[in-house]
Amino acid sequence: MKIVTVIPLTKGIFKEDLTYFTAKPVPDGSVVSIPVRNKTILGIAVSSEDVSHTKSDIKNMSFNIRKITEVKEHSIFSNEFLFTGIEISKYFGSQKGRTLTSLLPASFRENYDEIVKYKKEPHSDPLLIKEREKKLKPEKLLFQSPLEDRMIFYKTLIRGSFAEKKSVFIVLPTESDIDDFKTTLGHGIENFTFSIHGGMTAKRQVDQFKKITTTDHPILIFSTTQFLSIPRNDIGTIVIEHESSNSYKMFNRPFLDLRVFVELFAEKIGAKLILADILLRFETINRKEKLAEVRPLSFRFNFEGNIEIKNPNPTPSPDKHSPLAGGEKSGFKLFSKENLEEIRKTIENKKNVFVFSLRKGLATMTVCRDCTTTIMCDECSSPVVLYLSADGKKRMFVCNRCGIQKDPLMKCPHCDSWNLTPLGIGTDTVEEELKKQLPKVKIFKLDKESAKTEKGAEKIITDFENEKGAILIGTEMAFFYIKEKVDLSIVASFDSLWSIPNFKMSEKIIHIIFSLISITKNTILIQTKNEKDSALTAIKNDNLLNFVREELQDRKNLEYPPFKRFIKITHLGNKEDTIVTKKYLAELFADYDVKIFSAFVSKVKGQYVTNALLKLDLQKWSLPQINSNSQIDEHLHKKLSSLPPDFSINVDPEDLL
């Protein structure tokens, strides 16, 4: 009889491991069916011990041990994949079961008995994995270059890999990216090129699994991170494309950064790793002294068009002959005369225009002019956003966080004044202004409000691109769907980007401009009051090297990532809970100089949000495969593991809000 420790593959259990018994031998890494409450689920066996060695422990247990329902004959998941998931769960302060469940596609877990028959080889021996780690030091390469150059390199890489009988796995952040890369790189090798992602039906995913695992020839795979779980023992190169994309960071528990998983997994299987983008994350660039480069990092984007930076509301000249000195009504203008004229000319030439806006809605916040109070949602205390209804006839205040709607004729809750003023520029504001200025032009809008699904977004883009002489207004969401380059792009309000309290905002701004460059043929117009902004100056001069160096130096001086490790702990509760929570966190992490503060949005659905921030030396909380001479602080790990389920842990958070 065996006593087996099992990691349950489910997100709903807040225990690291569960204990079962069975008469069958259970090798480490085996997939088993286990009873949990009133259900039978899959689990991963991580250790097994003969019952004769644990009799005294069994007698002292306060619960009855249940029997494993079934030990699967084979495991489709390699031990390299499973052990990498277990390893990063510790780094991200997450339960092992929750981490593995997040990394394994639901279709594989739910159709396990169907797909297991397609795997031809047994999973790897754990001893072999350790030997690989000792002997092999696979290459890690940085590749920062324009997309066209990267595509040329990949074609050569794929041919060379196939000649060496090695497969290539290109990891991409979104389904749209997968389709684009497959179209470009799969030409001529269609029989050996496969794509798989979460947008496919479960049946389609299972079908692709079968083809990928049964094709004897080396193959090229385009996929999201989770499908690295597909067992191919011939993967020689893994590429993380669009490495800077925020889509690699999970926005919900367990808050994994999937780039970390891919890097560790590549090392375990002895595969070459390439981190690639037109501009890598600044923390990745900071590692360039320790990593090799495909070629020297390029900090130029080689845009053949023009980038113009203009203030749409310049200070009026004192010159009496100036057209701004008199005769023209002063006041805020969303678009300058020159930029409106540029839009008109582009439309008249049957060319298309893209207008970028950071936020959806008419206005991103509303304030009372009498007492300066910001109007917040009653439920979650987020700033309410002014929207225009779909038919364009009604205005309404909506909370983006919880969806609550408010009467547009409401009064200030603080001073009871009607004198409310909407501030900020959203997609609806831009749409209203352009319809007023260009009433005959066909205008499309793409944000999360206008396109609830991927198909809806694709239809908007298709209709826009088929319409010659049209305007598309969009948020960052639009960058994922635009296929054909537009003639003219405009940033409606660059200054609104700086209104977001995020220590990575300057980096985010650069990436937004790069995204605009990638979809624009001729001209990019950036409207801003601060024409000497350092990020814009770097873009204008077509050389970002000094800007990146200065930004990294600023982060070092401020002790921000990548020079420190941030761990954010968040708790939601009522007012009384919050008082107790702050005291509890201060005592628990007293040895770590913890900073405790209320979140930027202080309430969510009636509950107060409390954050605690730990700022650690990298040597105290890093994976040694990524940062040498580093480790996980075991004392801190025990404290984080002791937190109740109503606390969430976010390692390497994108912001501190």
Two tokens at 586?
């201060």
Two tokens at 379?
């439920």
Q: How far is the C-alpha of 433 from the C-alpha of 490, rounded, in Å?
A: 14
Q: How far is the C-alpha of 655 from the C-alpha of 657, rounded, in Å?
A: 6
Is 226:174 a contact under the CB 8 Å cutoff?
A: no
Burial of 141 by CB count in 10 Å (0-12 exposed, 13-18 middle, 19+ buried)? middle
Specify the pLDDT at position 265: 97
Domain ranges of the chain: 2-114, 118-293, 306-317+332-364+424-542, 565-651
For 306-317+332-364+424-542, CATH gives 3.40.50.300
User: Scanning the structure block, which residue is given the tokens 């890093």?
Assistant: 622
The candidate with the shortest Cα–Cα distance to 274, out of 286, 261, 262, 282, is 262
Two tokens at 188?
């001529």
Q: Give percent helix, percent strand, percent coil of the chain, each to the nearest 5.
A: 35, 25, 40
For 2-114, CATH gives 3.40.1440.60
The reported pTM is 0.84
Two tokens at 106?
């639901």
Helix (H, G, I), strand (E, B) or coil at 358: coil
Q: How far is the C-alpha of 250 from the C-alpha of 433, rounded, in Å?
A: 36
Q: How far is the C-alpha of 569 from the C-alpha of 39, rounded, in Å?
A: 32
Strand partners of residue 31 = 44
Q: How far is the C-alpha of 174 from the C-alpha of 512, rounded, in Å?
A: 17
Q: Does domain 565-651 have CATH number 3.30.70?
A: yes
The candidate with the shortest Cα–Cα distance to 479, out of 99, 66, 204, 176, is 176
Specify the pLDDT at position 627: 86
Is 473:444 a contact under the CB 8 Å cutoff?
A: yes
Residue segments in the chain with a per-residue pLDDT below the cut of 70:
13-14, 53-63, 119-136, 314-332, 360-367, 369, 371-374, 378-404, 406-409, 421-424, 498-501, 600-606
CATH topology for 118-293 is Rossmann fold (3.40.50)
| Fold match flag (118-293 vs 306-317+332-364+424-542) | yes
654 vs 10, 84, 161, 567, CA distance in Å?
Answer: 26, 23, 35, 11
φ/ψ of residue 20, rounded to 5: -140, 170
